[in-house]
Amino acid sequence: MAEEKETKAVEEAIEATPETKVETPVQDPKEFLENFDWEKYEQGIERVDDSKLQEFETLVAENFVDTADEEVVQGTVVYLTDREAIIDINAKSEGVISLNEFRYNPDLKVGDKVEVLIDIREDKSGQLVLSHRKARTIMAWDRVNAAHDKEEIVSGFVKCRTKGGMIVDVFGIEAFLPGSQIDVKPIRDYDQYVNKTMEFKVVKINHEFKNVVVSHKALIEADIEEQKKEIISQLEKGQVLEGVVKNITSYGVFIDLGGVDGLVHITDLSWSRINHPNEVVELDQKLNVVILDFDENKSRIQLGLKQLEKHPWDALSEDIKIGDKVKGKVVVIADYGAFIEVVEGVEGLIHVSEMSWSTHLRSAQDFVKVGDEVEAVVLTLDREDRKMSLGIKQLTPDPWTDITTKYPVGSKHKGIVRNFTNFGVFLELEEGIDGLIYISDLSWTKKIKHPSEFVAVGDTLEVEVLELDVEGRKLSLGHKQTTENPWDKYETEFAVGTVHKAAITDIVDKGATIDFNEDITAFVPQRHLEKEDGKKVGKGEEAEFKIIEFNKDFKRVVASHTAIFREEEQRNVKAAVKRAAASADEAKPTLGDANEALQALKDKMEANSKNK
């Protein structure tokens, strides 16, 4: 190919040379042989005139590029095959470059200008060796820097995926495209971009490590910004726009309105109560929304979806009225009650107090759970405020209706302890019928400071109805009244003056206590613990005690050990006085002797009184 081109050039040079007619003189054979050029004859060519050679060299210098090896020049694609591109750089021959070096440019065609590097001017076969890839590499860095400085848009070929993004061929340089810079919306499938040619903007260059970061998102954002300004300028409240679901969160849905994002709060998605927005919409879904509100800068746009439909309360049947029975599904449960969806978008509240006739309040979860189908009675209905209250207990008769028949005063019943306070116990006789047992009506004999000392929640107790207040829905109950009052018997058994034998149970500050039996605990004052020998009865010591006080109403019993021998002494003194008087009469003693005897007895009695 190189020889053909050179021959063609020579022919053109000869043709361009004006023809000159030279008459060849007749030469002597001897002279001809002497001047004959044997070298030309052996080469088989005719010597060309020196002037013509000079003209040929001039044409070559004007038409062919004088290039050095490793130099980047611009060439033209003159022919394309399935695997190669023929490039003309105005040299003596064309160069061949593999199409693999043009993968980034699948639209390459004949006539396109490309940069090439002259690797070898002439290989063993005389072929000019070119490289487009090396040329791009040499020039790429300057181009990338220029594109970055001028904020120009560049074209790049996405080669493959990598950790966190993509590798893009830009001017022959492998640039990094972060995943966050591919598009304005989150990308779930990165592979869809591989082997594609896209436009990018050079956003960062690390000159030290020769790293380049590009962004496709920056181009989209620039377009979106223009669209955004146009859309924002036309926004009006109540306007209906088409958008695409961009993101779904637990509190709402972000809608792309074509460059402007708006939020549909979860409460504005549906008239019905929903737990999560994905129950209503899905990603990339197209839907119509209405503009509810926006701030002064129109940067925060509040959208609504349910507002495009008629409010369910407006479609609620006029036949529904207070006292009617309705059916619905439990959608939400709170401590104070449960919300029932009667029809789609219309809810009624069943307060926990309307779930049972029991006055002992419990949690709504004790009666229903989410998803239950329940029947209830309409208690209140306000169509203007769109509120409805329902009741379940109204489906059964009020147990207080025939309370006087079922629980008359004096009747005995059994109930379950539901709760207690410092002053008493709340007992449930049946669902809806609760009564109060005051702490003083729990036991005839035990001194109870708190009901928990006597009974536990959940215990079953037998009670007697003491009082009944139908209007106030109150029952007064008693537990001790179900048994005989043992103090009626003890009033006789432990009457004042009776003597009982027992041991000291405990010593306290002002005396001691004695347990005569499981019900009777008597108190012995300090001075009444003294024995006849002057010592005091100790803890655990058994002795006789005399009851000196018994109060049935206050369950108070006071005993004394000292009173036993003191009374004996007094009886002995009286007996001695009588004997002395009798002896005096018999012996007829003198008046002085009698006085002395009486004085001695008087002194002893006074001494005993002082020791009390």
Helix, strand or coil, per DSSP, at residue 351: strand
Rounded to an integer, the average pLDDT of 28-48 is 59
Tell me: the pLDDT tens digits for 72-82? 788 899 998 98
6 pLDDT more than 50: no
| Lowest-confidence region among 50-54, 465-469, 509-513 | 50-54
The CATH T-level fold of domain 72-137 is OB fold (Dihydrolipoamide Acetyltransferase, E2P) (2.40.50)
- Rounded to the nearest angstrom, the gap between the alpha carbon of residue 233 and the centroid of all alpha carbons in its chain is 37
Rounded to an integer, the average pLDDT of 48-54 is 60
Q: What is the distance between the alpha carbons of residues 256 and 261, in angstroms, rounded to a whole number?
A: 5
Helix, strand or coil, per DSSP, at residue 34: helix
Q: What is the distance between the alpha carbons of residues 71 and 361, in angstroms, rounded to a whole number?
A: 95
Q: What is the DSSP string of 260-285?
A: -EEEEEGGGT-SS--S-GGGT--TT-
Tell me: the pLDDT tens digits for 490-527? 888 888 888 888 899 898 888 999 988 877 889 999 88
Rounded to an integer, the average pLDDT of 369-380 is 91
115 HSE (CA, 13 A, CB side): 14
Predicted confidence band at 308 (pLDDT cuts at 50, 70, 90)?
confident
Question: Regarding beta strands 433-438 and 460-469, do their DSSP bridges make them parallel or antiparallel, or are they unpaired?
Answer: unpaired
Q: What is the distance between the alpha carbons of residues 543 and 558, in angstroms, rounded to a whole number?
A: 15
Return phi, psi of residue 244, to 5°. Answer: -125, 135
* Cβ neighbours of 128 (radius 10 Å): 23
Tell me: the pLDDT tens digits for 399-449? 888 888 888 998 999 999 988 888 999 988 888 888 899 998 888 878 888
Predicted confidence band at 9 (pLDDT cuts at 50, 70, 90)?
very low
546 pLDDT more than 80: yes
| Lowest-confidence region among 37-41, 102-106, 338-342, 494-498 | 37-41
- Residue 249 structure tokens: 């969160």
pTM reported for the whole predicted model: 0.41
Rounded to an integer, the average pLDDT of 306-333 is 86
Q: What is the distance between the alpha carbons of residues 354 and 474, in angstroms, rounded to a whole number?
A: 18
Question: Regarding beta strands 301-304 and 286-294, do their DSSP bridges make them parallel or antiparallel, or are they unpaired?
Answer: antiparallel
- Rounded to the nearest angstrom, the gap between the alpha carbon of residue 78 and the centroid of all alpha carbons in its chain is 66
179 pLDDT more than 60: yes
Percent of the chain with pLDDT over 90: 15
Q: What is the distance between the alpha carbons of residues 463 and 429, in angstroms, rounded to a whole number?
A: 9
- Provide the pLDDT for residue 463: 92
Percent of the chain with pLDDT over 70: 79
* Cβ neighbours of 156 (radius 10 Å): 25
- Provide the pLDDT for residue 11: 47
Tell me: the pLDDT tens digits for 93-127? 788 888 888 887 888 889 998 888 887 777 677 67
- Provide the pLDDT for residue 553: 78
| Residue whose C-alpha is closest to residue 308's, from 210, 255, 240 | 240
Helix, strand or coil, per DSSP, at residue 502: strand
Rounded to an integer, the average pLDDT of 394-400 is 85
Q: What is the CATH number of domain 235-304?
A: 2.40.50.140
Q: What is the DSSP string of 78-109?
A: EEE-SSEEEEE-SSSS-EEEEGGGGTT-TT--
236 pLDDT more than 90: no
Q: What kind of architecture, by CATH, is found in domain 324-395?
A: Beta Barrel (2.40)
Tell me: the pLDDT tens digits for 58-76? 655 554 455 555 677 888 9
Where exactly are the structural domains of the chain? 72-137, 151-221, 235-304, 324-395, 402-478, 490-603
As a three-state string, the secondary structure of 526-589 is HHHHECCCCCECCCCCEEEEEEEEEECCCCEEEEECHHHHHHHHHHHHHHHHHHHHHHHHHHCC
Q: What is the distance between the alpha carbons of residues 357 and 577, in angstroms, rounded to a whole number?
A: 80
Q: What is the dihedral of CA 302, 306, 309, 311, to 10 degrees?
A: -110
Predicted confidence band at 589 (pLDDT cuts at 50, 70, 90)?
low
Predicted confidence band at 213 (pLDDT cuts at 50, 70, 90)?
very high
- Residue 46 structure tokens: 């005719």
Q: Which residue has the higher pLDDT, 36 or 14?
A: 36
The CATH T-level fold of domain 151-221 is OB fold (Dihydrolipoamide Acetyltransferase, E2P) (2.40.50)
CB-based contact 176:212 (threshold 8 Å): yes
Range list of H helices, 108-182:
132-150
* Cβ neighbours of 33 (radius 10 Å): 10
Q: Which residue has the higher pLDDT, 589 or 17?
A: 589
298 pLDDT more than 80: no
What average pLDDT does the chain have? 80
| Residue whose C-alpha is closest to residue 201's, from 212, 190, 216 | 216
- Provide the pLDDT for residue 287: 92
Burial-class residue 422 by CB neighbours within 10 Å (0-12, 13-18, 19+).
exposed
324-395 and 402-478: identical CATH topology = yes
Rounded to an integer, the average pLDDT of 266-285 is 88
| Lowest-confidence region among 18-32, 105-119, 162-176, 327-341 | 18-32
Rounded to an integer, the average pLDDT of 290-311 is 83
44 pLDDT more than 60: no
Q: What is the CATH number of domain 402-478?
A: 2.40.50.140
- Provide the pLDDT for residue 45: 54
| Lowest-confidence region among 60-69, 464-473, 478-487, 519-528 | 60-69
| Residue whose C-alpha is closest to residue 343's, from 331, 328, 333, 323 | 328
Q: What is the CATH number of domain 490-603?
A: 2.40.50.140
Predicted confidence band at 22 (pLDDT cuts at 50, 70, 90)?
very low
| Lowest-confidence region among 370-379, 425-434, 587-596 | 587-596
- Provide the pLDDT for residue 424: 92
Q: Of 44-58, 454-468, 561-575, where does the model show the most confidence?
A: 454-468
Nearby residues of 252 by Cβ (< 8 Å), 6 or more positions away: 263, 264, 265, 266, 268, 269, 277
Predicted confidence band at 43 (pLDDT cuts at 50, 70, 90)?
low
Rounded to an integer, the average pLDDT of 160-188 is 86
E strand or H helix at 403, and its extent? Answer: helix 403-406
